[in-house]
Amino acid sequence: MRGEQHQFIDSPHAGELALSQLARFTRTLRQNAFTLGLKESEDAARVLASAAGRRAVTLRAALKALLCARRSDWDKFDDLFDAHWLGRGVRRLVKMSPHTRAVATATALPFTRSEGPRGAPGLGEVISSSDADALNTPHGASSRMEGASRAEHLAETDFRRIADPEAVAEAHALAARLARKMRSRLTRRKRAQRKRARLDIRRTIRRNICRGGVPIDLMWRSRKQKPLRLVILLDVSGSMSLYTSVFVRFMHGVLDHFREADAFLFHTRLAHVSTAMREKDVGRALERLSLLAQGAGGGTRIGESLATFNRWHARSVIRSRTCVLIISDGYDTGPPAALAAELRRLKRRCRRIVWLNPMLGWEGYQPIAQGMLAALPYLDLFAPAHNLRALAALEPYLARL
């Protein structure tokens, strides 16, 4: 590298080439959430023109000290520098912003997969190792840059039509990031109050004792807002296999560091997976998830699964402001009357029941399955979930609850 660096510096067009490289590098840093302005770019150009710019080691140290303003910048600077200036590690870079492209290859996980019915894939078979890497990747991970058009295209593409391993990995990362943003906005949003809060007489008097009892500082009372709680029930049966991996990623993003949420998987039986989805070590999280969801990829008994939920879990996970989110295509092998009865019981407990059906986004689809028809009267929202844009449209509805 040292010889190549000197040859580059000593070439006739070294100044123009070096400045061009630097401009592309600063643009890459901005797209990776670095805060850089014109002044930082000018100082970086002076560093490149100085003696420090003649060797990769000194250039790295100088630019790192100049351009890194936060701990997250410092952590990912070396990978970005190596990828851009030295051409190292480009293949292992993971996309972290809408303008980047994931390049991890989809390969089978090393842990033992759960065995479902014969010929049906287990849950572990629809989660790739690229998923595990992206789940464990922090917000400040390094990345390779690309235009936003690819991310926008993926956001509008039906999950079942994404076959390329790179596109699948990118869709998974986008789903996880979407869930994190939704979770952040829903937990931090403050609603404007139409009526002013009531005056707290007792606190006002105590606060103004030092002022001789004159009520100069007024203390107000307002009703405490309880946070929205999400309970997600994901169908992992065979008919949902093309969508399962993306929804698992979305579910992990919702539950990550978010106490007001719980997650369940169901097929012919129900499994409570909140603890597994909050596992910090992603390999262990997916292994536990695979073990908990044994039998995934087979048939669906939505009514029986909801009966289990209502009997054993509803009391502990449902609050006054709980939205139950069911993600399923509605194909139930059990009696429709049982499904209707369990949804009726559930509706009396929770604030809202939202059913996301991936097939609702298909052209010409009609909810004529008996299970789906039995469920419709008890739903507060019946919406599609076939792509990322449909999932993002869920946030305004949840924000109003």
Distance CA 58, CA 5 (A): 12
pLDDT at residue 147 above 70?
A: no
Single-letter residue type at 188: R
Choice among 127-131, 160-164, 186-190 with the minimum mean pLDDT: 127-131
Q: Which two tokens stand for residue 151?
A: 């991310």
Q: What is the DSSP string of 334-387?
A: S-HHHHHHHHHHHHHHSSEEEEEEGGGGSTT----SHHHHHHGGG-SEEEE-SS
Of 112-126, 212-226, 243-257, 368-382, highest mean pLDDT:
368-382
pLDDT average, residue stretch 11-36: 78
pLDDT at 97: 34
pLDDT at 129 over 70: no
pLDDT tens digit sequence for 40-53 = 888 888 888 888 88
Q: In what order do the strands lie in the sheet with 229-235?
A: 270-272, 261-266, 229-235, 322-327, 352-357, 381-384
Q: Is domain 93-189+226-401 classified as CATH 3.40.50.410?
A: yes
pTM equals: 0.58
347-361 pLDDT, tens digit each = 999 999 999 999 998
| Residues 269-307: tens digit of each pLDDT | 999 998 888 876 656 666 777 777 776 767 889 999 999
